[in-house]
Amino acid sequence: MRWGLGMLAILLVLFGAVPIGILTMATVVVAPAVAEQIRLDPCTAYTADTAATLAAPTGQFALPKWGTPRY
């Protein structure tokens, strides 16, 4: 019985605390680095694909005229 509780404790630490610790350390290390990069050059946060996606479409659709139903 005692070895079963010991194994359970080891498994809980292995599958619970270790992944949470890894995620926490990755967040602590990566987040400040990304924030500093964006602070130095804000345009590097957006790639060419992202900039094209965020750009407003030009002439692709028109607003309906006043008084017409909107579907």
Tens of pLDDT, residue by residue over 43-52, are 666 665 655 5
Query: Is 59 part of any domain?
Result: no
Range of the domain at 26: 16-44
Q: How many Å apart are CA 12 and CA 17, to the nearest integer?
A: 7
Whether 22 is in a domain gets the answer yes
Q: Is residue 40 part of a domain?
A: yes
Per the structure block, which two tokens stand in for 61? 């659709």
User: Residue 29 falls within a domain, yes or no?
Assistant: yes
The whole-angstrom separation of Cα 40 and Cα 55 is: 23
- 4 within a domain of the structure (yes/no): no
pLDDT of residue 71: 62
Tell me what pLDDT residue 52 has.
59
**Regions of the chain with pLDDT less than 70:** 43-61, 70-71
How confident is the model at residue 18, as a pLDDT?
Answer: 85
Rounded-to-integer distance, Cα 71 and Cα 60, Å:
17
For the chain, the domain total comes to: 1
pLDDT at 19 (0 to 100) = 86
